[in-house]
């Protein structure tokens, strides 16, 4: 596996965008934009640019990511394959949330189907059948008979207690990331610290940003916030999170962080800054693993993280151009897209 996968990742890594490539795209004339995207190996996004359909553009980005993932999966087997497959299931969990939200709002099936992500060969759900479920109770029943049964079952119980759609979606997200962390930990003996380092930047960010939002934006009680966090210990294990959720302010949370997170986030003034700094840490870690990683799986995972950030930054350029935003605003949007997605 390693030789083929390392070679393929090295070839794919040439697709990653430099600041100069983004700057060139930002300054490309409208008449040449579709051709420029095709030249960059993104013909599907060129079609999306012509149609000016943001939903369609998002779907095309995911299709591109899934196609590249499909190629990288070819030599994988066992736990490695399961882990990367589960990484793609974020998009199908998003479909689950869209289905549940739409059923509660009693939307028409046709309108809902147009917003769902086409998972292609990665699909594990019969969306056509699910969207025609009679009501939310029937939809839950069908989902609990699907490959996402465990994730949905916990979310349904939390929703039945609160009747809050936010709690439903937060519980779905928590269950997904716990499943991802569980699969990653089975690989750490084979990949050394590389997968652990990539996962730490992801799970620690998820937990810290969620905790800050839930406590200080949504004003949820500490016990409920702790319940909604991902139960996987990296640099912020459970006992540390228990202490952090009781802090009275963002400043107090940051002052209570262990090293090196305390040093890395020093001076952050709000949740947005915390999110962007942690995302930049994740990006730097992924770049390092891609460049110097010793295990092919770790390098493949790092590539997929960086590729998704790049494609979402391309989307920011296309949206900015469509809205006729000033160049400076589009450049800022590119930076935000690279440090706020995922």
> How far apart (Å, rounded) are the C-alpha atoms in residues 162 and 157?
9
Among residues 285, 294, 278, 305, the alpha carbon closest in space to that of 16 is found at 305
List average pLDDT for each run of 10 residues in the chain, which is 342 residues long: 90 94 91 90 78 72 94 95 96 95 91 92 94 92 93 87 88 95 89 90 96 96 95 90 96 95 94 93 96 94 96 90 87 72 50
Q: In the numeric block, which tokens belong to residue 105?
A: 């709002």
> How far apart (Å, rounded) are the C-alpha atoms in residues 104 and 293?
46
User: Residue 317: is the preceding peptide bond cis (ω within 30°)?
Assistant: no
Distances, alpha carbon 330 to alpha carbons 31, 198, 319, in Å: 18, 29, 9
DSSP 74-142: TT--HHHHHHHHHHHHHHHHHHHHHHHHHHHTT--HHHHHTTS---GGG--S-HHHHHT-SSHHHHHHH
Contact predicate 91/119, CB 8 Å? yes
Q: In the numeric block, which tokens belong to residue 157?
A: 């119980």
Among residues 119, 62, 121, 71, the alpha carbon closest in space to that of 96 is found at 119
State the pLDDT at residue 342: 46
State the pLDDT at residue 232: 81
Q: In the numeric block, which tokens belong to residue 276?
A: 């962007």
List for the chain the helix, strand, coil content (%; round to 5). 75, 0, 25
State the pLDDT at residue 57: 81
State the pLDDT at residue 53: 62
Structure pTM? 0.93
Among residues 184, 183, 93, the alpha carbon closest in space to that of 147 is found at 93
Return the residue matching tokens 């700057």: 23
Contact predicate 322/52, CB 8 Å? yes
DSSP 130-146: HHT-SSHHHHHHHHTTS
Q: Is 30 helix (H, G, I), strand (E, B) or coil?
A: helix
Count of Cβ atoms closer than 10 Å to residue 53 Cβ = 14
How big is the chain by its Cα radius of gyration, in Å?
21
Contact predicate 231/223, CB 8 Å? no
Alpha helices, H only, 146-237: 149-162, 165-185, 188-191, 194-212, 222-228
Contact predicate 175/151, CB 8 Å? yes
């Amino acid at each position: 596996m390693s030789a083929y996968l390392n070679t393929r990742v090295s070839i794919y890594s040439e697709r990653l965008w430099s600041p100069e490539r983004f700057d060139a795209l930002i300054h490309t004339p409208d008449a040449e934009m579709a051709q420029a995207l095709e030249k960059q190996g993104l013909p599907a996004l060129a079609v999306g640019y012509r149609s000016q359909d943001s939903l369609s553009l998002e779907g095309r980005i995911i299709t591109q990511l899934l196609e590249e993932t499909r190629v990288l999966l070819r030599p994988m087997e066992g736990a490695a394959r399961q882990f990367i497959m589960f990484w793609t299931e974020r998009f199908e969990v998003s479909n689950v949330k869209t289905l549940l939200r739409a059923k509660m709002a009693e939307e028409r099936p046709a309108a809902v189907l147009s917003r769902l992500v086409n998972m292609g060969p990665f699909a594990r759900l019969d969306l056509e059948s699910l969207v025609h479920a009679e009501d939310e109770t029937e939809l839950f029943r069908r989902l609990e008979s699907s490959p996402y049964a465990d994730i949905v079952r916990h979310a349904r119980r939390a929703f039945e207690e609160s009747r809050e759609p936010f709690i439903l979606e937060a519980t779905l997200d928590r269950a997904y990331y716990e499943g991802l962390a569980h699969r990653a930990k089975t690989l750490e003996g084979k990949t050394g610290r590389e997968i652990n380092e990539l996962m730490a930047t992801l799970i620690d960010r998820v937990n810290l940003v969620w905790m800050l939002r839930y406590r200080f934006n949504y004003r949820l009680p500490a016990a409920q916030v702790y319940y909604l966090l991902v139960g996987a210990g990296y640099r912020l294990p459970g006992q540390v999170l228990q202490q952090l959720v009781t802090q009275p302010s963002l400043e107090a949370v940051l002052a209570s962080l262990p090293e090196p997170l305390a040093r890395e986030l020093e001076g952050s003034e709000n949740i947005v800054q915390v999110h962007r700094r942690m995302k930049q840490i994740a990006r730097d870690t992924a770049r390092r693993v891609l460049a110097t990683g010793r295990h092919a799986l770790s390098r493949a995972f790092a590539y997929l993280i960086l590729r998704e950030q790049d494609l979402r930054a391309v989307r920011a350029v296309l949206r900015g151009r469509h809205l006729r935003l000033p160049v400076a605003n589009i450049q800022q949007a590119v930076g935000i897209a690279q440090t706020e997605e995922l």
